[in-house]
Structure 1
Amino acid sequence: MSTVQYRTALDRPAFFVGGTWLAPSTDEHHVALEAATEVPIGTAAMAGPADIDAAVAAARAALDSGPWGRSAAAERAEVMRRFADAWEKRADLATTLVSRENGMPIALSRQTNGLGPAGHLRRNADLIEKFPLEAPRLSMRGATIVRREPVGVVAAITPWNFPLGLALSKPAPALAAGCTVVLKPSPETALDSYLLADAAIEAGLPAGVLNIVLADRPASAYLVSHPGVDKVAFTGSTAAGRAIAAECGRLVRRCTLELGGKSASIVLDDADLDTFVAGLDAASFMNNGQTCTLQSRILAPRSRFGEVVEAVAGFAAGMVVGDPLDPATTCGPMASKAHQERVLGHIRTAIASPARLITGGGRPAGHERGWFVEPTVFADVDNADRLAREEVFGPVLAIIPYDDEADAVRIANHSEYGLAGSVWTADEARGVDVARRVRTGTIGVNYYAIDFDSPFGGLKASGIGREYGPEGLSSYLDHKSIYTSAAQLPS
């Protein structure tokens, strides 16, 4: 952060609070640098406690006094669809802006940041229209109406790696449920989330239903603890998630936490390696390795270990490292200088270990500017090594040998995380059986891709609660029992 003058048309000098633009209470600003060039592309105001207070107050007033939570589900769904339409007009700008901010390859950015927000809005609009919000049932003394109501004001705290897709993954179900939202995006992608505000204004979203403030850690912690907040929905590191969970526990406040991962890709002895290699980008290298679901531990049978190492190394060495705005690029830069150094630090530690460096291992030649890291593969990694235990969040894979199927499952489960995974086999029924034995929230057989109509989330240190699908929508609703006479039952 620094105190600077605004420079470009991308600058964001105010916060979106109460349906309008609110001047900040501090002079602090974040300077956004382009990941591939390190050139400043804009600045954004940073919130202090007074700005957080204003955003929560606006959300609280919209919840307690406004029409949103008391409106019919069909009315909310209609506004959300208009929101999606308005967003799609901004999708191209959003796609390019995110790639400049965090280095995401442009084709992936188009899918996740350009199309993703509208998809979240429309899916949840469809869901809420079909969702049973009130149902009577017989009781010992008459009837009970079981009612689902909005949980209240939601603090949605989202990360920089898929900034717009994840920014709407929480407000979309919250808005559908009738909640109001304070969205706190990451400073690393400081400029893009305000496009959501522009779309919300065009769609006619009532004032205060969605509020957007950018903040650093102290102000974010203030938001988590704010007495006007009813639920915290967070995606980010496990370390930050533990702090949020502790505070929500102290306050007896609901929270949904989608945290880190160190997932395993189990290559069974009958796997077709062409199929495995075709799925490597999505399963293990997506977004330059900056994805929580990536299977960065490749478990290979000793009988085919050399084949698997050769296949993974060939794929990694063939990735095109470069400008994320170039459609030919398959691996862009890290999102920041500090993150690049963290990833390179993990690589240096692994090089000093008994593991074998197969390909990559540092900064790619010809990229003196930008926060690039070579796609890197280590073989003969022990599952107890740091490289196999800690989330690197970069294009770095560890290939680990196993003896038999039971050993592969044991190694996969021997992790503090449990977010994702995959099994590769010529026998899908066998793959499903192995998948059932892996302790993880999501797992694919012969591919890995998140299904937004099904629950997503982690076990162990990978999180609490579920997002997406009916289960994700349910987490923004509370149950109320209204005790009545049997006459309340439908005839």
Structure 2
Amino acid sequence: MNYKHPITAPERLGGLVAGAPSSGGGIDIPVWYPATGAQVSTLTEDDASAVDKAVNAARRAFDGGPWPRLGVEARMQVLRRCQAIILAHADELARLECLNTGLLLRELKARHMVRAAYNFSFFADYIGQATGQRYDQATDYVTTVARDPVGVAALIAPWNAPVALASMKIAAALAFGNTCVVKPSEQTPLAVARLVELLQETLPEGVLNLVNGRGTVTGAALVAHKGVDLVSFTGGTETGRAIMSAAGQNLVPCTMELGGKSANIITESADLDRALDGALLGIFSNNGQQCLAGSRILVHRSIMDEFMGRFVERAEHLRVGDPTADDTELGPLASAPHRDRVLGFADIARADGGSVMTGAARREDLGRGYFVAPTAVRACSNADRVAQNEIFGPFATFLPFDTNDEAVAIANDTAFGLVAYVWSDDLPTVMQITDGLRAGVLWVNTPMMRELRAPFGGYGASGVGREGGAACENFYTEQKTITIPRRPVPLRALGQNN
């Protein structure tokens, strides 16, 4: 197939420590373009020695550099310059992101890069309006609470939305005066590496550093390093468990935004046209590769057949192909092994007694890229593996329900609890269902909307901790209580003769 806007990448990519390229020291890792299956770059993995240099640079910048001691207004100005840099280079960053993710270039420009820039402006606004605490209740004392930056933050970004999600961590950590070592996925390092490079022009030396490589090598060395003071990770649940275990050896706090198997509940009282649009967006946007996906579509039995039929018809008309073309609606999956894993769940669905309604096949007509047809299956029960395992692709699982209580029970019958969707124009129905759902974020009559002022995170296997304005302030700062007497207070004179 012919691609509309060919993209090029650096021939070789490495880490960045204190503003200078790092030597890496590890193996070479190929970087692939998912739309063609062609290698587009080579990544040099950072071994434990290279990670040590990056952490030490961040440590020096924190312990002796100006950033943690910079006034809030000055820090706000730097964050706004970071925002401007991202907007000025949005096209370049979007094209690099497309090249190693296969995400739609149109969406990367209009949403991901805009979001990345907004992350910095949001935290600039937040720290500019943050208030302190003062306690006057004790008659003879005034007590205030100050917030100090924690130290060196290890920030580990996922492969499904690298710049959008890495920038959230970077902006938050920097806003509160920390220094950072960023590790993107070895699958998708291109745009994050360029972002870190671009931000060097406005940040002091050593404040923002980059290491690259596999989680088992580079990531393991980073989270176990004794110079790291806190860890923020977005990615798979099993990896999150391993990271928390390693960080726990050093008593390092972590936030974990992990997997999901989110319920999308379509009630009898829903506006079915909007619910259908929302369900399609919920599972097929971002090429189906998002922890927020409404991957379990729960439909009231009375409208199940009609809704599924309309969903399948629309899914079969999705435009799959070149992620750089303006009219493409679904691009490739991120890698060949991931494509094969996603397709393998069709056989799992059949083995569990379910039926495949559409898709479940490679789009071989699109060349050697990692394209699959949008897929929908009807499961026998919520116990089926396609209803319990996070598939992380354009793969919808349908389940019927008869009552609101049953919908809530099905939705909650999962190890995960990241988000959930509810479609209903009846307020009592909305209240009943949202009161019962156990998930960190609930969206009613809307697809994904991220309110950065509010906490974001999940229950159970979907994570630990939250991101957002106040949640990030709590994570990226230490609280320091300072008590001062209003006047000299009487002290007992121990050891004096009476």
Q: Same fold (TM over 0.5)?
A: yes
**Equivalent residue, structure 2, for 1:67:** 66
Shift of 1:360: 0.7
Cα distance between partner residues in 1 of 2:133 and 2:11: 45
Cα distance between partner residues in 1 of 2:22 and 2:247: 28
Is there any run of 5+ residues in structure 2 with no aligned partner, and where?
Answer: 1-7, 489-498
Shift of 1:134: 5.8
Cα distance between partner residues in 1 of 2:423 and 2:119: 30
**Equivalent residue, structure 2, for 1:476:** 476
Cα distance between partner residues in 1 of 2:327 and 2:203: 38
Equivalent AA in structure 2 for residue 11 of structure 1: E
**Equivalent residue, structure 2, for 1:4:** none
Cα distance between partner residues in 2 of 1:310 and 1:13: 47
- Describe the SS at the equivalent of 2:365: coil
Cα distance between partner residues in 2 of 1:487 and 1:195: 56
Shift of 1:114: 2.1
Equivalent AA in structure 1 for residue 484 of structure 2: T
1:55-94 to structure 2, matched below 5 A, reads 55-94=54-93
Cα distance between partner residues in 2 of 1:318 and 1:140: 72
Equivalent AA in structure 1 for residue 329 of structure 2: T
- Give the stretch that moved more between structures: 236-245 or 17-26: 17-26
Shift of 1:487: 6.1
**Equivalent residue, structure 2, for 1:3:** none
Is it true that 1:247 corresponds to 2:250 in the alignment?
no
In 2 relative to 1, CA 418–259 (structure 1 residues): closer, same or farther, beyond 3 Å?
A: same
Give a deviation string over 1:83-140, Cα, whole Å, max 9, x none: 1111212110111221221111122212343222211111011101111256454446
Cα distance between partner residues in 1 of 2:280 and 2:66: 45
Is it true that 1:232 corresponds to 2:231 in the alignment?
yes
In 2 relative to 1, CA 427–345 (structure 1 residues): closer, same or farther, beyond 3 Å?
A: same
Cα distance between partner residues in 1 of 2:472 and 2:306: 40
Identity over aligned pairs, percent: 37
Cα distance between partner residues in 1 of 2:447 and 2:132: 33
**Equivalent residue, structure 1, for 2:204:** 206
Cα distance between partner residues in 2 of 1:350 and 1:231: 40
Q: Report if the CA contact (8 A) 1:262-1:390 is conserved.
A: yes
Q: Report if the CA contact (8 A) 1:419-1:462 is conserved.
A: yes
**Equivalent residue, structure 2, for 1:270:** 269
- Give the stretch that moved more between structures: 247-256 or 168-177: 247-256
Give a deviation string over 1:123-160, Cα, whole Å, max 9, x none: 01110111125645444652222111111110000111
Q: Report if the CA contact (8 A) 1:134-1:148 is conserved.
A: no
Give a deviation string over 1:252-300, Cα, whole Å, max 9, x none: 2100000000000111111121011121243222211100011100111
Shift of 1:210: 0.5
Equivalent AA in structure 1 for residue 33 of structure 2: E
Cα distance between partner residues in 2 of 1:282 and 1:138: 52
Cα distance between partner residues in 1 of 2:370 and 2:340: 9
Shift of 1:199: 2.0
Q: Report if the CA contact (8 A) 2:266-2:423 is conserved.
A: yes
Equivalent AA in structure 2 for residue 246 of structure 1: S
Shift of 1:348: 1.9
- Describe the SS at the equivalent of 1:418: coil
Q: Report if the CA contact (8 A) 2:352-2:385 is conserved.
A: no
Equivalent AA in structure 1 for residue 86 of structure 2: W
Cα distance between partner residues in 1 of 2:431 and 2:58: 44
Q: Which of these two proteins has the greater Rg computed from alpha carbons?
A: 2
Cα distance between partner residues in 2 of 1:445 and 1:197: 36
Is there any run of 5+ residues in structure 1 with no aligned partner, and where?
Answer: 1-7
Cα distance between partner residues in 2 of 1:199 and 1:230: 25
Is it true that 1:191 corresponds to 2:212 in the alignment?
no
Q: Report if the CA contact (8 A) 2:379-2:386 is conserved.
A: no
1:338-357 to structure 2, matched below 5 A, reads 338-357=337-356
Q: Report if the CA contact (8 A) 1:422-1:435 is conserved.
A: no
**Equivalent residue, structure 2, for 1:458:** 458
Give a deviation string over 1:369-393, Cα, whole Å, max 9, x none: 1011111001244100000000000
- Give the stretch that moved more between structures: 311-320 or 133-142: 133-142
**Equivalent residue, structure 1, for 2:494:** none
1:27-426 to structure 2, matched below 5 A, reads 28-133=27-132, 135=134, 137-139=136-138, 142-202=141-201, 204-216=202-214, 217-426=216-425
- Describe the SS at the equivalent of 1:194: helix
In 2 relative to 1, CA 456–111 (structure 1 residues): closer, same or farther, beyond 3 Å?
A: farther
- Describe the SS at the equivalent of 2:299: strand
In 2 relative to 1, CA 367–121 (structure 1 residues): closer, same or farther, beyond 3 Å?
A: same
Query: How many residue pairs were aligned?
Result: 479
Cα distance between partner residues in 2 of 1:287 and 1:265: 17
In 2 relative to 1, CA 137–289 (structure 1 residues): closer, same or farther, beyond 3 Å?
A: farther
In 2 relative to 1, CA 12–75 (structure 1 residues): closer, same or farther, beyond 3 Å?
A: farther
Q: Report if the CA contact (8 A) 2:132-2:144 is conserved.
A: no
Shift of 1:428: 4.2
- Describe the SS at the equivalent of 1:357: strand
Shift of 1:41: 1.4
**Equivalent residue, structure 1, for 2:19:** 19
Q: Report if the CA contact (8 A) 1:98-1:192 is conserved.
A: yes
Q: Report if the CA contact (8 A) 1:428-1:445 is conserved.
A: no
Q: Report if the CA contact (8 A) 1:13-1:23 is conserved.
A: no
Give a deviation string over 1:312-354, Cα, whole Å, max 9, x none: 2122112111011111111111101111111111122113331
- Give the stretch that moved more between structures: 225-234 or 441-450: 441-450
TM-score by length of 2: 0.93
- Describe the SS at the equivalent of 1:279: helix
Shift of 1:31: 1.5
Give a deviation string over 1:206-260, Cα, whole Å, max 9, x none: 0111001112122211111110001000000000011112223332210000000
Cα distance between partner residues in 2 of 1:174 and 1:423: 33
Equivalent AA in structure 2 for residue 261 of structure 1: G
Q: Report if the CA contact (8 A) 1:43-1:191 is conserved.
A: no
**Equivalent residue, structure 2, for 1:445:** 444
- Describe the SS at the equivalent of 1:417: coil
- Describe the SS at the equivalent of 2:25: coil
Cα distance between partner residues in 1 of 2:421 and 2:487: 52
Cα distance between partner residues in 2 of 1:305 and 1:145: 58
- Describe the SS at the equivalent of 1:97: helix
Cα distance between partner residues in 1 of 2:465 and 2:122: 19
Q: Report if the CA contact (8 A) 1:388-1:398 is conserved.
A: yes
In 2 relative to 1, CA 11–309 (structure 1 residues): closer, same or farther, beyond 3 Å?
A: same
Equivalent AA in structure 1 for residue 227 of structure 2: G
Give the alignment's Cα RMSD to 1 decimal.
1.7
